[in-house]
Amino acid sequence: MANKAYDEAAVQAIAAAIRAKNGSADTYKIAQMAAAIADIPTGGTDERFDKLFLKTLEDLDLSSVPGSTRYRVDVPGYLFNVKGVVPRLKSIKTNPYTTTINNNAFAECKSLKTAELNEGLTTIGDYAFQQCTELELSALPSTVTTIGKQAFYGCEKVTLSSPPSALTSAGESAFARSGVTFNSITLTQFGSYIFQGCDGLTNVFCDIRATSNQGTYIFRECVNLKEVKARIFTGGYTFDGCTGLEKIKFLGSTDTALPAKIRTNECQGCKSLTKVWIGSGCNVDFPSWASYLAPFFGCTALTDIYCEEAEQPSSWPSSWNTITGSVTATVHWGVSEAEFDAIVNA
């Protein structure tokens, strides 16, 4: 009799794996296995797959899956994020060739604690880690250029001290209600509310400018934010509700294609703000017919504003320094940054 061209134990192990994934008690002949494997559910919404695999998954390690620059091993979206499907998932490790974590990949994985993400990763999709409330993450790969909307929303234990060096784009609420502690951020594409409610932000330099699709309320309600140096061109309301903000410097720009502008209600409701300096080349731009839309409206502790320009530029609305009603701040012209520092530190 000729020797078998297969290992019986290995074949039975494959059959058992198929039955586990399909939730069946079927027996399989060798010729049936290819079709049975093709019929295995692959999405996180199939009830049998959920119960027999995802319910018990604790560690997802894609690092050893074969890949290359041509054949990437990206993380699919909507696989692990169905509520209650993966209650035990604690760790993930991406592949060296992963470039994308797709939308909703791990949203609401409440037990997820660690994520080892590879250098070469460029995109973290919308809602990718939304409400992963136990996720502890102190750094992202330097190669990440794009972070989608609400990607880390509500991730209070994500305590990134700096953004990836390649980052240029962040979607709406990308880091809102998270634990990030950035002290410097540069973006050229951005949605609204990116850092809303980030209590870990205290002293920030930001260069956030775009000429189209500008987000608003970028730092809304960052109540522990005390000092800012900003070169901005946003949709306005950038520091709305930052009630602990005391000092801000607005920097100018010589780039006509990407200017620096102070716009509608930039510091609305910043009730602790007392020190403001506006550098040369920074324009003030808001609807001139509505003084209540002035950049510092509602900053009731602000009495003086210092400007590097020798006199008020003709393009600035006359009511730009309105604080509330008929109350305006006194403007001091021709003050350099060094002179301003000497004044406020005296």
| CATH (domain of 50) | 3.80.10.10
Per-residue pLDDT at 88 exceeds 80: no
Domain stop point among 128, 148, 180: 180
Same domain, 19 and 50: no
Q: How far apart are CA 319 and CA 294, in angstroms?
A: 7
Could you tell me if 178 and 153 are in contact, meaning their C-beta atoms sit under 8 angstroms apart? Answer: yes
Of the two residues 259 and 57, the one the predictor is more confident about is: 259
Structural domain span for residue 12: 8-40
Of the two residues 336 and 60, the one the predictor is more confident about is: 336
Burial 185-209 (b: 16+ CB within 10 A, else e): bebebbbbbbbbbbbbbeebbbbbb
Examine residue 94 and state whether it is found in any structural domain, yes or no.
Answer: yes
Same domain, 142 and 286: no
Same domain, 315 and 336: yes
Domain stop point among 180, 210, 229: 180
Report the Cα 199 to chain-centroid distance in Å.
Answer: 15
Q: Which of 40, 105, 59 is nearest to 79 (CA)?
A: 105
4: left (phi over 0), alpha (psi -120 to 50) or beta: beta
The pLDDT score that the predictor gives to residue 46 is: 47
Examine residue 3 and state whether it is found in any structural domain, yes or no.
Answer: no
Same domain, 127 and 222: no
pTM for this model (two decimals) = 0.82
Give the best-scoring range by mean pLDDT among 23-32, 79-88, 279-288: 279-288
Q: How far apart are CA 331 and CA 77, in angstroms?
A: 53
Examine residue 2 and state whether it is found in any structural domain, yes or no.
Answer: no
Same domain, 243 and 260: yes
Examine residue 287 and state whether it is found in any structural domain, yes or no.
Answer: yes
Average pLDDT value for residue range 66-94 = 68
102: left (phi over 0), alpha (psi -120 to 50) or beta: beta
Q: Give residue for tokens 């993966």.
A: 86
Could you tell me if 190 and 198 are in contact, meaning their C-beta atoms sit under 8 angstroms apart? Answer: no
Per-residue pLDDT at 49 exceeds 70: no
Lowest mean pLDDT segment, chosen from 16-25, 77-86, 184-193:
77-86
Sign of the torsion formed by the C-alpha atoms of 297, 299, 302 and 306: negative
* Angle of CA points 232, 138, 128, to nearest 5°: 75
Q: How far apart are CA 266 and CA 298, in angstroms?
A: 11
The pLDDT score that the predictor gives to residue 62 is: 74
Examine residue 60 and state whether it is found in any structural domain, yes or no.
Answer: yes
Could you tell me if 200 and 161 are in contact, meaning their C-beta atoms sit under 8 angstroms apart? Answer: no
Same domain, 163 and 113: yes
The pLDDT score that the predictor gives to residue 64 is: 75
Same domain, 155 and 289: no
Domain stop point among 131, 163, 180: 180
**Which amino acid, residue 81?**
N
DSSP states along 184-251: EEEESEE-S-TTTT-TT--EEEEEEE-SSS----TTTT-TT--EEEEEEE-SS-TTTT-TT--EEEE-
Same domain, 215 and 253: yes
Residue ranges of alpha helices (H) inside the chain are 8-22, 33-38, 47-52, 337-344
Residue 268 burial (CB < 10 Å; 0-12/13-18/19+)?
buried
> Residue 9: how many CB atoms within 10 A of its CB?
8
Examine residue 284 and state whether it is found in any structural domain, yes or no.
Answer: yes
Same domain, 147 and 275: no
Average pLDDT value for residue range 182-193 = 96
Examine residue 1 and state whether it is found in any structural domain, yes or no.
Answer: no
Could you tell me if 149 and 107 are in contact, meaning their C-beta atoms sit under 8 angstroms apart? Answer: no
Examine residue 55 and state whether it is found in any structural domain, yes or no.
Answer: yes
Provide the number of structural domains found in the chain. 3
Q: Give residue for tokens 């009603």.
A: 325
- The pLDDT-based confidence of 257 (bands split at 50, 70, 90) is confident
- Name the 3-class secondary structure at 77: coil
Same domain, 89 and 125: yes
Mean pLDDT, the chain, integer: 87
Same domain, 27 and 12: yes
Same domain, 196 and 142: no
pLDDT tens across 268-289, in order? Answer: 999 999 999 999 999 999 998 9
- Name the 3-class secondary structure at 342: helix
The pLDDT score that the predictor gives to residue 336 is: 97
Of the two residues 18 and 342, the one the predictor is more confident about is: 342
pLDDT tens across 163-175, in order? Answer: 999 999 999 999 9
